[in-house]
Amino acid sequence: MKENKNILLAEDDENLGKLLLSYLQAKGFHVELARNGKTAYELFNSTKQSYDLLILDVMMPEMDGFTLGSEVRLLDKRIPFLFLSAKSMKEDKLKGFGVGADDYITKPFSMEELLARINAILKRTDSKQKNVQEKIHVGKIQYEPELSVLHLNDGAKKLTTKENMLLRLLVQNQNELLDRQAALRAVWGDDNYFNGRSMDVYIAKLRKLLKEDSNIEIMNVHGIGFKLLVKQ
């Protein structure tokens, strides 16, 4: 039995959702059930709850599982998740793994098989977490995302909540494109015009903080997003 493991379950089928919820709780997991992809995303993006694993149905209203998985992977490169789907075509499975899933289970499935796959994923991720560094080096600058602190030449700089959330996304996607709309939804909750202008201000603030290392650049990809480039 896995104690103190938190699972976010996104399943729009009411009967299957209740069945999975009851079964996993009986096995010792703490489970939160979301009835659609949008609600699941909002729960995951909330700072009030920390999850060890996500179980995502593929076909859901408001936000499908593949889109949800992509958004989750943008926010967190390490959180494990698996898909549940009636789609059994090879192309669908490849798409699921392509967005970053750790496993893909086709319906119908047995509860015992689901539990075995969950335990296998958690065992792998538990061993990886032991090696996760709490301090990250961005070029020559040390960054502690959990403390919202940047260590600069003139001392430690405490970041605001939005500065830290935005920098964390940039660091997690270092040298890769950070989609503008996805970043807005993750940090501001909405990708409207006014939030976009606000994000541009925060990007300018981060550029100012990181400028002491000439090998770091936050590049603007016009109309698309940003790239945190760190020269080796």
pTM here?
0.71
Question: In which domain, by residue range, is 158 found?
Answer: 136-230
Of the three residues 129, 145, 176, the one that is the final residue of a domain is 129
Ramachandran category for residue 57: left, alpha or beta (phi over 0 → left; psi -120 to 50 → alpha):
beta
Q: What is the DSSP letter of 52?
A: S
Residue 130 in this model has a pLDDT that exceeds 80: no
pLDDT of 134 reads 65
pLDDT (tens digit per residue) in 65-111: 999 999 998 888 889 999 999 988 899 999 999 999 999 999 999 99
Q: 177 and 112, same structural domain?
A: no
Q: Is 1 part of any domain?
A: no
Q: 210 and 96, same structural domain?
A: no
Q: 104 and 149, same structural domain?
A: no
CATH of the domain at 225: 1.10.10.10
Of the three residues 106, 129, 152, the one that is the final residue of a domain is 129
Number of separate domains in the chain: 2
Exposed, middle or buried: residue 161 (CB in 10 Å: 0-12, 13-18, 19+)? Answer: exposed
pLDDT (tens digit per residue) in 135-159: 789 999 999 988 899 999 989 999 9
Q: Where are the beta strands (DSSP E) in 86-215?
A: 103-106, 136-138, 141-144, 149-152, 155-158, 177-179
**What value does the mean pLDDT take over residues 28-57?**
90
Of the three residues 129, 148, 175, the one that is the final residue of a domain is 129
The candidate with the shortest Cα–Cα distance to 116, out of 50, 34, 33, 27, is: 27
